[in-house]
Structure 1
Amino acid sequence: MTIVHEPAAWAELKAALADTIPEERLIDDPLRTLAYGTDASFYRLIPQLVVRAESEAELQVTLAECRARKLPVTFRAAGTSLSGQAVTDSVLIQLGRGWRGHEILDEGQAIRLQPGVIGARANALLAPHGRKIGPDPASIASCMIGGIAANNASGMCCGTAQNSYRTLRDIRVILADGTLLDTADPAGVAAFRHSHGGLLEELERLSIETRGNEALAEKIRHKYRLKNTTGYALNSLVDFEDGIEILKHLMIGSEGTLGFIGAITYDTVVDEPCKAAALAFFPDMAATCRATIALKRSPVSAVELMDRAALRSVQDQPGVPEVLRHLPEAAAALLIDVRGNDEEALEARMAEVQAMLEGIRTLEPVAFTRDSATYALYWKIRKGLFPAVGAVRETGTTVIIEDVAFPIERLDEGVLALTDAFHRHGYSETILFGHALEGNLHFVFPQGFEKPGEVERYQALMDEVAQLVGVEYGGSLKAEHGTGRNMAPYVELEWGSEAYALMWEVKTLFDPENLLNPEVILSRNPTLHLENLKPLPAADPVVDKCIECGFCEAICPSKDLTLTPRQRIVIRRELARLEALGEAASHDEKARIDRLWQAYAYQGIDTCAATGLCATQCPVDINTGDLVRELRHERNRGKAGMARLVGRHFSGTTRLGRGALNMAGAARLALGKNLLSKVTGGMRRLSGDRLPQWDPSLPKAAPVRVLKQDVADESRREKVVYLPSCATRVFGAAHDDVESRSVMEITLALLDKAGFDVILPEMIGHLCCGMPFQSKGQFDEASHKGRELNRELLVASQNGRYPVLCDTSPCALQMKEYLDDRLSLMEPVSFAHEHLLPRLLITPLDERIAVHVTCSSTRMGLSDRFVALARVCASEVVVPAEIHCCGFAGDKGFNTPELNASALDGLADQVAGCSAGYSNSRTCEIGLSHHGGIPYRSILSLLDRASEPA
């Protein structure tokens, strides 16, 4: 659907909304409308206006103003949807921070969630109660509750019994006319019955007529014995008689076309703690499907099917079992998950599964694992299949994923028929995987639309698949990913004209003007699924394999400030597409390139923390920070001489840093914090933000004289090479902290307590890991400093004879990427576990403390060990939720302080009542102290306070 309105309409809308919503949350610039308008599907529509609504009141005003101008509206949660249901060329309403509320009910038996809560966060909240939400989509670590409910997403362990429709207790919705209904509020329900009695009567009439139509009612029941998200939830008309209940359940899976879900209350399900999994390999698909049918009667939590092509797409990933590389071409696998409340129940269920598989040939003995790392790896393989296929596609093509469901008893027939259809249409690279117990299969294939005939080939395939699944096999064309745009033209084919007309009646009752997400679920445009296809041009080898799934977004520190990794890639691709036009580009296109680059400088480059945390969530390990550093390299080529000058005189540079801190300390003493903050803030504004921001948490200068103290050389004592980072050589203790020692003083004292002799590298003041240069794109000087450091550490450690401790985690990660393999380099957490805890007596402090696991520690796989170390040393440990990266990023906290502030929004509330916080990066600790309202120190300080010599 193409929206045609005069440009004045959008200006009028924005002006009208500005009376209620701050203008910075009314977004219409070309860069952000494209970036924010992109979702995980293969469709591209650019909204005219993006509204970041923070409350129900703002959303109601937006709906009213759009309705007055007949402007369509689309709601967006995380944008991980795959079928085009979250894109628009009209008004996009994006959830802001204000939609992340939650409430545990009935001691975990239920949970009330706002739509901006990430699914995994909901489960984390329920974990202490041994419960979880029923829906279990593969994207649960990224997708939000609003999208889970609006798409009736299910997933691996959910089936049809535990999806949103089946576990819904109550819902809070805003309808197209702006009316708010909370079904958990009896008074509100009574008022709604009075004000919207006509709507409820019509829903009840439709229910009576549908139940009275035996053929239609039976068809509906059959469709929902399967996984099914094609069209509206017509099962609500046969499952319920009361208009409120029908309305509640129609909202599930309605994809924002009937109203906005402002909150949902789920009845939770038991999360059995004992878990085991097996990868079972079968010689062919027929045997795999027979095993699936047999397992349907067994006590399994999930059975995931993967064909040979799917397994091939992940067989070279780290840790994957070697057997995957040697399977025959016809082979397939089942990932079988078994759970129990205790070990005895788990053992019994595993034995029952083994008994069910007797008589079915397997290529390897079926062996269950309870090892948590292997268990997690199996599920990582399964959840990463879709992006992994996208990563190996030809650059410039997109990746299509659809999910169908067959009646389980016809699964093997359906698989063979689908495979035959793909091959006949030339889709030899298609992979199949899915939730086998429900007959639910995902098929994924690369698709280019640029070459002649490709659109027609795709259409022919989809026409045949729709006929095959929806008509011949009586299955579902959309099992769990939502109808969206891609399957909207086929809804009538699957359901038949009678049910299709009923769906249009439902849509008209709720949205008579067709303004809520039009063209999604229902459309009379037979070629809708072939229009507005997203280009994915080559932009940079670092990111070309990205399929824009959005898994990275939840942990990005700039997600609420500027752009996410996905959005940075989207804009870089658009720039590449326009630049590829060369001389053929029009004047307007050239002007668009200039405007995008100008805006991208701040939105995409300056506000990226470039810590690489995004790679930990990316199924194909894309580090968008690498792209940003390359862009900084291009931009800062003219500053290479200055970088070289700083690097060659690094000890002088750090002395200047300490001198600046001494001056700041004197100014703080003379003017006071408040006045100094105003003065420096004014100077920063006058400089056009070129001067760094003075931070009240700015510490004292570090006393480097402690590095010159002689340490007793007792030959009986073990030795360690200690490398204080340049950050700890510059930044000392905070002015107001009771811990008055610098990180260097703490580390030296702790090492002595543990019985280590300390070796300090020569010319220590001159050494640097190179990260300050690397992060700014000054790769040559970064490499020079790295080689320099490598040489000195080899000398100090006697070619790796002694371990090396670096007191700053990000520096340790930087060094691990290039230091000599002979060096045993550790940061504070790993060194404490391996070398300090065995040598110390620990008496846990009776304190409530906070822990911030740095990005580098996460990337090195140290998160659990970090928290475990803190719990050894303190009686209560708080790990703030959804604070993944502090955004200080070296000097970003000084030069781009808004990134640090945005990343740590809400930290103070979570750490309230803590005596202190602990981390392992001195610069991160500065920002954490400022925004957390408590002092943050090195984790070594905590260990030192809680320990005595063994």
Structure 2
Amino acid sequence: MNKILEINIEDNYAVVEPGVLFKNLRIKLSNTGRGYWIPCNPGSADVCTIGGMIANDASGESAIKYGTTRDYVSSLKVILGTGESLQFGNLVKKTVSGLDLVSLFVGSEGTLGILTEATLNILALPESFKTVIGFFDSIETAIISAKSIKDTLTPMSLELLDRITIMGMNAYLARLTPKITLKNAGAALLIRLDGDDEITTAHANKIIKLLNMDKTSSDPEIFSGFKHNYLWKARDGAGPSLGRLSPRAQNVGTFFPASLDFSVPFSKISELMDKFAKIVGAYKIGSVRYGHLGDGNVHLICSTPITSEDDVKKFSTIQGDLVRLAISLGGSVTAEHGCGVWKAPYLPLEHGKEAMNLMARIKKVFDPNNILNPGKLYSYPKKMSIFSPEHEEEINHE
């Protein structure tokens, strides 16, 4: 199930099996005709499969401009829990005929059916990519500057990096030749632009002008070519690099890092960041803050040693506090990483028990015997080890 079945340039679509690596499809598309792409860019882009991207509605840092995987899926072939084989969707760009069953399946984490084939929309590959980076004393000032950029233009990516993430990127960049070293700062914005060369140059210069006018910003710079590529490889590799930098990296069995991928309205990001810092500060644990600032999806990482039952309870309490914080700000428990086992118990807090019961009934239509990825999203064990919410009465397990 790992074949690219068709690439149609005239109608701009590709037909693939679910086991196709996204990386391989990217290469094939870029070498077809004048060059094409699917502009989703998850951090796992080099290793993830198309089936996994669809099941998880993968996105990444380009969602601010190009959306998520859901925006590029036009039709699916699936096998339901009953054994029935069905096809949803079609090849047209616009239709309002009936319910959108394709979108229902995208992001369902394999709970509704087994994907056997997908038809994906493809776009012409941009001529040029450029990246602007600007440095700041604090996350707060970086967020204020990001608003000015968003008010001026829509970049392909608008990423926030905290001091520790910059360190992680530098650890990655140090292994490359020639070396690039980013400034040691409290925070940074990484802004990617795409389009024809004239447009990306003009937009990059406009952002440089904005950053130079901002007294809280320093040393803005434009990157293109291999340096541009290096920066984004370092950004995607920041997580593993941070793990290698950790003094506890050799003792991972007793050290638990939790990566929370909340999304909140852009206007609430400063409040989310501030309250997150206060919560983890109160528990005296380490934290990292970075992510896709442009679309309100930030990655908040807190890490704590797990050496006793009290540590387990503390971690569960911290996670519950953070989930409730995101929801209170009008946000979502997960923007792109999916629910899986970690976050399923918290979904009723975001959607309400009635909506969760409706989702469970929908699953029963497609999978009446609950054989497709059971225990995820709609139903799960009452106790989820360290992932269980502290207040069980808030969760509907029916």
Which consecutive unaligned segments of at least 5 residues does structure 1 have?
A: 1-97, 187-238, 533-950
Picking from 29, 37, 60, the partner of 1:126 is 29
Q: Counterpart amino acid of 1:408?
A: F
Indicate whether 1:116 and 2:19 are aligned: yes
Deviation at 1:258, TM superposition (A): 0.4
Counterpart-to-counterpart distance in 1, 2:387 and 2:266: 34
> 2:242, 2:210 → 1: CA distance?
32
Q: Which residue of 2 aligns with 1:376?
A: 229
Partner Cα distance (1:515, 1:240) in 2: 32
Distance 1:356 1:364 in 2: 11
Cα distance, 1:349 vs structure 2: 1.6
Q: Partner of 2:393 in structure 1?
A: none
CA gap of 1:356–1:240, structure 2 versus 1, over 3 A, is farther
Per-residue deviation, 1:480? 0.4
**2:295 aligned residue:** 438
Query: Where does residue 137 of structure 1 map in the other structure?
Result: 42
**Structure 2 residue aligned with 1:511:** 367
Structure of higher CA gyration radius: 1
Matched AA of 2:8: L
CA distance in 2, matches of 1:100, 1:448: 43
Secondary structure in 2 aligned to 1:315? helix
Q: Indicate the SS of the match to 1:365.
A: strand
Instruction: Say which of 300, 311, 314 aligns to 1:457.
Output: 314
Q: Distance in 2 between matches of 1:403 and 1:366?
A: 28
What SS does structure 1 have at the residue aligned with 2:198? helix
The structure richer in helix per residue is 1
Matched, 1:414 2:272: yes
Question: Of the candidates 108, 114, 137, which is equivalent to residue 254 of structure 1?
Answer: 108
In 2, Cα distance between equivalents of 1:242 and 1:108: 23
Map of 1:207-226 to 2, 5 A cutoff?
Answer: none
Give the CA deviation at 1:412: 1.1
User: 1: distance between equivalents of 2:215 and 2:382?
Assistant: 45
Displacement of 1:459: 0.4
Q: Distance in 2 between matches of 1:376 and 1:253?
A: 29
Q: For 2:108, give the aligned amino acid.
A: S
- Residue equivalent to 2:194: 339
Contact 2:130–2:194 under 8 Å retained in 1: yes
**CA separation in 2, counterparts of 1:185 and 1:358?**
48
Deviation at 1:303, TM superposition (A): 1.0
For residue 263 of structure 1, give the secondary structure of its aligned residue in structure 2: strand
CA contact (8 A) 2:171 2:241 kept: no
Among 251, 257, 261, the alignment partner of 1:403 is 261
Q: Residue type of the partner of 2:332?
A: S
2:351 to 488, 491, 495: 495
CA positional deviation for 1:116: 0.8
- 2:144 corresponding residue in structure 1: 290
The Cα shift of 1:375 comes to 1.0
Counterparts of 1:392 and 1:398, CA distance in 2: 15
**Could you tell me whether the CA contact under 8 Å between 1:119 and 1:145 is conserved in 2?**
yes
- Note the C-alpha offset of 1:509: 1.6
Match of 2:378 among 522, 527, 533: 522
- Partner SS, residue 501 of structure 1: helix
- Determine if the alignment matches structure 1 residue 165 to structure 2 residue 66: no
Verify the 8 A CA contact 1:280 1:362 in the aligned structure 2.
no
Q: Which residue of 1 aligns with 2:339?
A: 483
Aligned amino acid, residue 512 of structure 1: P
1:587 aligns with none
- Tell me if structure 2 keeps the 8 A contact 1:293–1:409: no
Asked whether the equivalents of residues 477 and 494 of structure 1 are also in contact (C-alpha less than 8 Å), the reply is: yes
1:276–1:369 CA contact under 8 A, matched in 2: yes
Change (3 A) 1:114 1:369: same
Match of 2:157 in 1: 302
- Is 1:242 matched up with 2:130? no
**Per-residue displacement from partner, 1:129-168 (whole Å, max 9, x unpaired)?**
4221132101111000000000000011133743222222
Q: For the structure 1 residues 514 and 449, does the alpha-carbon distance in structure 2 shift closer, same or farther, using more than 3 Å as the test?
A: farther
Deviations 1:43-82 (A, max 9, x none): xxxxxxxxxxxxxxxxxxxxxxxxxxxxxxxxxxxxxxxx
1:379 alignment partner AA: W
Preserved CA contact (<8 Å) 1:492 1:500:
yes
The alpha-carbon deviation at position 422 of structure 1 amounts to: 1.6
Residue in 1 that maps onto 2:394 = none
Q: Deviations over 1:543-573 (max 9, x none)?
A: xxxxxxxxxxxxxxxxxxxxxxxxxxxxxxx
State whether residues 115 and 144 of structure 1, in contact with CA within 8 Å, keep that contact through their aligned partners in structure 2: yes
Cα distance between partner residues in 2 of 1:332 and 1:181: 49
Change (3 A) 1:347 1:496: same
More strand by share: 2
Asked if residue 424 in structure 1 is aligned to residue 298 in structure 2, the reply is no
Quote the offset at 1:357 in angstroms.
Answer: 3.6
Aligned residue number for residue 122 of structure 2: 268
Deviation at 1:282, TM superposition (A): 0.9
Q: Distance in 2 between matches of 1:362 and 1:435?
A: 21
List runs of 5+ in structure 2 lacking aligned partners: 389-398
Q: Which has the higher contact order (CA 8 A, sep 6+)?
A: 2
What is the number of equivalent residue pairs in this alignment? 373
Structure 1 residue 295: deviation in Å?
2.0
TM-score (norm 2): 0.87
Give the Å deviation of 1:414: 1.1
Of all paired residues, the percent bearing the same amino acid is 26
For residue 8 of structure 2, what is the aligned residue in structure 1?
A: 105
In the alignment, structure 1 residue 174 sits paired with structure 2 residue 29: no
Change in 2 beyond 3 A, CA 1:269/1:496: same
Match of 2:396 in 1: none
Cα separation, 2, equivalents of 1:160 and 1:455: 39
The match for 1:387 among 240, 251, 273 is: 240
Secondary structure of 2:218's partner? coil
Give per-residue Cα distances to partners, 1:521-544, cap 9 Å, x unaligned.
123535326279xxxxxxxxxxxx
- Distance (whole Å) between structure 2 residues aligned to residue 513 and residue 356 of structure 1: 58
Deviations 1:3-25 (A, max 9, x none): xxxxxxxxxxxxxxxxxxxxxxx
Change (3 A) 1:531 1:362: closer
State the 1:122 CA deviation.
1.2
Report the Cα distance in structure 1 between the residues aligned to 2:283 and 2:371, rounded to whole angstroms: 37
Alpha-carbon distance in 2 for matches of 1:383, 1:248: 29
The SS at the match of 2:308 is coil
2:205 aligned residue: 351
Structure-1 residue corresponding to 2:170: 315
Change (3 A) 1:266 1:185: closer
Provide the rounded CA distance (Å) in 1 between the counterparts of 2:351 and 2:212: 39
Contact 1:310–1:385 (8 Å) recurs in 2? yes
Q: Deviations over 1:356-394 (max 9, x none)?
A: 445423442311122x22112211221011112222341
What is the CA-CA distance between 1:311 and the residue it aligns to?
1.6
Deviation at 1:254, TM superposition (A): 0.5
Report Cα offsets for 1:784-817 as digits up to 9, x if no partner. Answer: xxxxxxxxxxxxxxxxxxxxxxxxxxxxxxxxxx
| Residue of structure 1 equivalent to 2:395 | none
**Cα distance in 2, alignment partners of residues 402 and 356 from structure 1:** 31
The residue correspondences of 1:516-555 to structure 2 (distance < 5 A) are 516-528=372-384, 530=386
2:74·2:90 contact (CA, 8 Å) conserved in 1? no
Summarize the alignment of residues 73-84 of structure 1 with structure 2, pairs less than 5 Å apart: none
The residue identity in structure 2 corresponding to 1:122 is: L
Shift of 1:496: 1.6
Which secondary structure state, in structure 2, belongs to the residue aligned with residue 405 of structure 1?
coil
How many angstroms apart in 1 are the aligned matches of 2:265 and 2:382? 27
